[in-house]
Structure 1
Amino acid sequence: MKPDLPAAVATPAEAQWVEAELVRSLLRTARTTQLLGLFLIPILIGVLWNDVSWGALALWSACALGLAVVRFFVIRRYVRDVLPHGSAAHLAFFARYRFLWPLSAIVWGASTLLYFDRSSLADQFICWLILAGLAMFAINALSTHLGTLRAYLDSLALTALAVLLWRIGGELQFRGPYYHYWIIALLLIFWEVLREAGLRLHLTHRRNFELQFRNNQLIESLTRQTQAALDAVEIKNRFLASAAHDIRQPVHALSLYADWLGSEPELVHELAPKIVESTKAVNALFDSLFDLVRLDSGKIKLNIEAVDLPQLLHDLELQYRPLARAKGLQFRVHATRGTVLSDPILLRRIIGNLLSNAIKYTHQGGVLLASRTAGGATRIEVWDTGVGIAPVHQREIFREFYKVPAHGGTEDGFGLGLYIVARLAAILGHPLALDSRPQRGTVFRLILAPTDPQQAADRAAASVAQLVSMP
């Protein structure tokens, strides 16, 4: 035999959902139990019509009918105001009105005052059958909510038992017939049997709803995973299409220049710079691809150490000033003394991507690379006088493969530069801010908060995990 598997531990969300479903099931059947109670009232009146005073019968009937009317309006309000809402609303509503069920049981239990040892044995038998049938019907109607079922059965049995004991001990002084004690014994046995049957039926209902909740969770999880797989396929297809389109242009240019150089070698001085530029374009595209692969695979190596800011900006100036000068742009640097705790390679990659973008999208004017310290916080800023970014695109430019529509210069990239910048900045814990005006220019500000190595590693792992689990 296979060993029994341990029961799954219910989460708070599951427990609340199951409780609410049990309440919904009880209230769905409440209208049926209401009709049964109304149907039994005239039957009981008819059986006892000639045995009980009309005043006592009218008083009990008024209590039973009044309580039935109250329950009718409560159920009507539930259907109108609560049924469309969530689990919390159902539980709160039921908590306010659940006392009506044990109160109803008390009224029916008190009916034994009308017939026990006061009417003929035949009429008593019929009345006891009505009471037993009502209790058995409550097992099916109320077993979804164990607390309410037990409150109903206990109220019904204890009220009837109190009437029996008052009649036997108080009025008859224990001098009544012996079958009175058999009735008490049968009442106690029947009470315990109903409680046990109700518990078993309740556990069945609860397990069914727990299984339904977990099946829904499983279906939802499978749906998310399926959607994630479809999204991954869509991203891959979009990526391949973008990669094929963007790589084709510089590679095709290289092929044309090579053929041209082969047929007219005397143009080597004119064609060589163009071949170099096309090669650089291909290398830049592949650099972006490799950065993306390392980010998404979690293979980034973190080396947190003190970074000298003036030296960092000087190195970046040596690398990017020639590119700016080649476009006829000014390239200025303003560096403040100091160090910051970060990964020097990744930090250089972030600022380098920002400078590359600034030079690419600036056609006149210049670029400023600056480090500043204010209020104890150090930041690096990259200013340009380029085309700028409209507010509608300023959040989107940090998404992978996003290119600003009709934005000059976006045709020769994957749309990965700022996406990689944002990912690396988040891993290092360096907040990145953007301020831009179309046709006026853009400034990126990188706040150099000290990087904690363990927290950075955790953020890198969480970044990859988020990509894996993303719906």
Structure 2
Amino acid sequence: MNPPDAPSFPADAAQQDWVESRLITAIMDNAGSALAAMAATIPVIVVLLYREAWLPGLLAWAGAATGICLLRLAMIARYRRHYAGTTGPRLLAFWQRCLWAWPASALIWGGSMLLYFGRGQTENEFVCMMVLVGMGAASVSVLSASLRCFYHFTNALGVTVTTLLLYDLLVMDPFNNDLRDYAMLVLVLVFWGLIRVGGKRFHRVQRSSLELQYHNNQLIESLTRQTQTALDAVGIKNRFLASAAHDIRQPVHALGLYADWLSSEPELVREIAPKIVESTKAVNALFDSLFDLARLDSGKIRINIEQIDVAKLLRDLELQYRPLAEAKGLRLRLHVVPGQATSDPILLQRILGNLIANAVKYTARGGILVASRVTRRGMRIEIWDTGVGIAPEHQREIFREFYKAPPSHAGTEDGFGLGLYIVSRLSNILGHPLRMSSRPGRGTVFRLALEGTDAAQADARAVASLAQLVNRP
């Protein structure tokens, strides 16, 4: 019983398909030259035997051999038109449909012994037998990439030749055989066994080589992804350093100036103290963003899911951000309806705080509206502003880390460009879909759907978010 084609060690389906496809490709790439040699041998056999063999039988054999060559040539042409360079089930199915052609060839060529064995000159018989020996030997290198094809061919050839030898020994002339006839049978059996062993070993070498190539390709692809990730990390670090050097220098430098001014003119404390407070808040806000980013990217963020009074949360945020809005001459309005949401109160407050702070930063006149609404899927919070708006080409980019809109937008010079990136990451972790619409020069609205979640789901999303960040191309 023929052993199936199998990898030398356990492999996944993708690897097996790829290796099998490459083995089939190796056979089909060599099939043309092997077929040409076989076709060229047909007239040689005819020339050698036409005076000795039964002519109708010789012509019938030549026709059958030519026919199988033409059929195999059509298979090769079909392969090159439709399957060359492909892998997977489609190529394997084509190969299964073609397998019969090789044992059919072996039966036809092995059957040629009926024309000459024990019937003609020894020299011609020797040449014809050497053709069969050459075919068996060549099958080791040409067909052993597929054990099934190799065994089909060699078994068909071996069984045909052995059967005809036994027929000649036991039926045609059982009493006049000499040692040469029995030696011939033994040699055929030994040679048959040797080419089977050789083909199996050669197949293992080819398969192991392809499996190694597959794993090398996987390793190269993985290393390429990791290299790109490292380059992205370097790019992020460079953007961070450039942004940090610019953004932290301004409030820190201002703090130094105010401190020097205060030390030289203490009577101006009422005028200088608020400026020091504002500069300190700016530095704290910058570092808060960095700390949030560090917790997200290290996977150390803690999630505590509980029931939240949405109206109370929004009123607390109003108290926190109303002075900031009024300092710019803006009106911060609140429109709330009673309702509960299941979320992490600290992270949700961080999301909404970043969105409100962003609205204040990018609004020069008018105001900000923070509203809560009840929908069929739960509470939804909306934050409207009458600010500069966001151009369509920037609406996807603003959620990327360290991204800032062009300087032509007032207010974009402050901060690291982390606010909306952190908002996007946290809303994804909490399972709260975030939508945005904006019209340049008219304002922007962010809508946060407070769909229910639980701690296990949030933790899983946090792990997935970190893995996606580490493995992104």
TM-score after normalising by structure 1:
0.92
Name the CA shift for 1:314/1:220 in 2 (closer, same or farther; >3 Å): same
Partner of 1:456: 458
Deviations 1:202-246 (A, max 9, x none): 111111111111122222222222222222222112211111111
Residue pairs, 1:307-322, within 5 angstroms: 307-322=308-323
Looking at structure 1, the residues matched to 235 and 443 of structure 2 have their Cα atoms a distance apart, in angstroms, of 34
SS at match of 1:411: coil
Instruction: Give 1:177-326 correspondences, 5 Å limit.
Output: 177=177, 180-326=181-327
5 Å matches for 1:62-141? 62-141=63-142
Contact 1:228 1:470 (8 Å CA) reproduced: yes
Greater Cα shift, 41-50 or 407-416: 41-50
CA contact (8 A) 2:286 2:415 kept: yes
Alpha-carbon displacement from aligned partner over 1:98-134 (angstroms, at most 9, x marks no partner): 3222221121112112112322333323222211111
- Shift of residue 348, structure 1, vs aligned partner: 0.6
How far has the Cα of 1:180 moved from its partner?
4.6
The range that moved more, 42-51 or 245-254, is 42-51
Give 3-state SS (helix, strand or coil) of 1:450's partner: coil
Aligned residues: 464
Q: Is the 8 A contact 1:105 1:153 kept in 2?
A: yes
Task: Answer whether contact 1:24 1:90 (CA < 8 A) is retained.
Answer: no
Aligned to 1:415: 417
Distance in 1 separating the partners of 2:452 and 2:165 = 81
Q: Which amino acid aligns with 1:412?
A: D
2:468 maps to amino acid: Q
Residue 3 of structure 1 is matched in structure 2 by none
Comparing 131-140 with 228-237, greater Cα deviation is found at 228-237
Question: Are the equivalent residues in 2 in contact too, given 1:427–1:459 (CA < 8 A)?
Answer: yes
Letter paired with 2:20:
E
Q: Tell me whether 265-274 or 9-18 shows the greater mean CA deviation.
A: 265-274
CA contact (8 A) 2:169 2:177 kept: no
Q: Is residue 340–residue 379 contact of structure 2 (8 Å, CA) maintained in 1?
A: no
SS state at 1:34 partner: helix
CA-to-aligned-CA distance 1:386-428 (integer Å, 9 cap, x gap): 1111222111111101111132211011100000011111111
Q: Distance in 1 between matches of 2:307 and 2:232?
A: 40
Alpha-carbon distance in structure 1 between the residues aligned to 2:225 and 2:182: 64
CA change 1:86–1:228 in 2 (3 A) is same
Secondary structure class of the residue paired with 1:144: coil
SS where residue 404 of structure 1 aligns? coil
1:345 counterpart letter in structure 2? I
Does residue 467 of structure 1 match 2:452?
Answer: no
Q: Which residue in the other structure is 1:425 paired with?
A: 427
What does residue 438 of structure 1 align with? 440
Q: Percent identity?
A: 55
Aligned equivalents of 2:343, 2:27: Cα separation in 1: 61
Say if 1:8 and 1:403 are closer, same or farther in 2 by CA, change over 3 A.
farther
- TM-aligned CA deviation for residue 24 of structure 1: 1.2
1:267 CA displacement: 3.5
Q: Which amino acid aligns with 2:318?
A: E
2:9, 2:213 → 1: CA distance? 13
Contact 2:311 2:338 in 1 (8 A): yes
SS at match of 1:444: strand
Aligned to 2:4: none
Distance 1:130 1:211 in 2: 36
Shift of 1:145: 1.0
Are 2:47 and 1:55 aligned?
no
Verify the 8 A CA contact 1:435 1:443 in the aligned structure 2.
Answer: yes
For 1:419, give the aligned amino acid. Answer: Y
User: Deviation per CA, 1:23-80, whole angstroms, max 9, x where unpaired?
Assistant: 1111111122112212322222232122113322222112222322332343234334
Moved more, 173-182 or 97-106: 173-182
Going from structure 1 to structure 2, the CA distance change for 1:80 and 1:287 (only over 3 Å counts) comes to same
Deviates more, 1:146-155 or 1:453-462: 453-462
Q: Which residue of 2 aligns with 1:4?
A: none
Contact 2:382 / 2:446 at 8 angstroms: preserved in 1?
yes
Contact 1:434 1:444 (8 Å CA) reproduced: yes
Structure 1 244/119 Cα, relative in aligned 2: closer, same or farther at 3 Å? same
Corresponding letter in the other structure for 1:9 = P
1:122-160 deviation line (CA, Å, top 9, x unaligned): 332322221111111111111111111111111222233
**Separation in structure 2 between the aligned mates of residue 364 and residue 234 of structure 1, nearest angstrom:** 36
Q: Note the aligned Cα RMSD (angstroms).
A: 2.1
**Deviation string for 1:160-197 (max 9, x for gaps)?**
33444555566x38556255555444333322222122
CA distance in 2, matches of 1:14, 1:280: 57
